[in-house]
Amino acid sequence: MGPDHDVNLKAAYLMAQAAAPGMKAAGWGRMINMAAGSAFIRNHGVYGLAKSAVILLTEALALELGPQITVNAVAPGQIAESGPDISAIDPTFVDRAIRHTPAGRLVTRQEVANLIAWLCSPAADLITGHTIPIDGGWRFNRF
């Protein structure tokens, strides 16, 4: 495995392995994995492969760890606050991404955090094994 797999997939697996026993013993737990929009759009090769594997891991863990533990993932699209860094590499990317996004803007870090907090709340008791894109529709293909 290369660095993309170590950071994005292996880390999620090892964290689940470490946290699950305590959650099981407590009779309750929430695991939230970080996928990415690149899992749905074939634009980042090995990184997209690692994030796709995180989605599969999320589904498998939901089956293995339920009912005490719910396991979900969030898949952010391009994060607005990363715009300046990306613009240094490709000055046209942010504007193109916004034009391509039906919501007309990029997701913020706070919006991702809010979704994660909600998934950890009692309101999400019956949501498990899902990956929730939070990208304003960016992943949809347009012609």
Q: Tell me the catalytic residues.
A: 47
Q: Are 83 and 107 in contact (CB under 8 A)?
A: no
**Token duo for residue 99:** 């034009």
CA distance 11 to 14: 5
131-134 and 29-34 beta bridge pairing = unpaired
Answer whether the bond into residue 21 is a cis peptide, omega within 30°: no
Work out the number of other CB atoms within 10 angstroms of the CB of residue 18.
Answer: 9
CA distance 54 to 68: 20
